[in-house]
Amino acid sequence: MKKGYVYILASKRNGTLYTGVTSDLLKRVYEHKNDLKEGFTKKYCVHNLVYFEDCGNIASAIEREKQIKGYLRKKKLELIESINPEWKDLSNDWFLDSSLRSE
């Protein structure tokens, strides 16, 4: 079964939030950061990875995504701040090594 991750992107601290799910977190974050796909994150400049969970498999990640999307904004902010109180971009140094970049 495919690996699964749920993640939250933010435009800035306490800014616009986007919750997503993927089987390849590195690739998906790269796509968001470089506006490679049309959609919400490109339109609203939501590029900072502020939260993610390894859910083990894609089915569990989809369930967790639904749960998080059902949260009130306040609870989403608390979730982010539980692991990332400074709202740092957790992927900040992921793409420094050119061997990690998608072609």
Q: For the chain, which domains are there?
A: 5-89 (3.40.1440.10)
27-84 pLDDT tens trace: 999 999 999 999 999 999 999 999 999 999 999 999 999 999 999 999 999 999 999 9
**Interatomic CA distance for residues 39 and 18, integer angstroms:** 11
Q: What's the first-to-final CA gap in the chain, in angstroms?
A: 26
7-43 pLDDT tens trace: 999 999 999 999 999 999 999 999 999 999 999 999 9
Q: What is the pTM of this model?
A: 0.90
How would you class 70 by CB atoms within 10 Å of its CB: exposed for 0-12, middle for 13-18, buried for 19 or more?
Answer: exposed
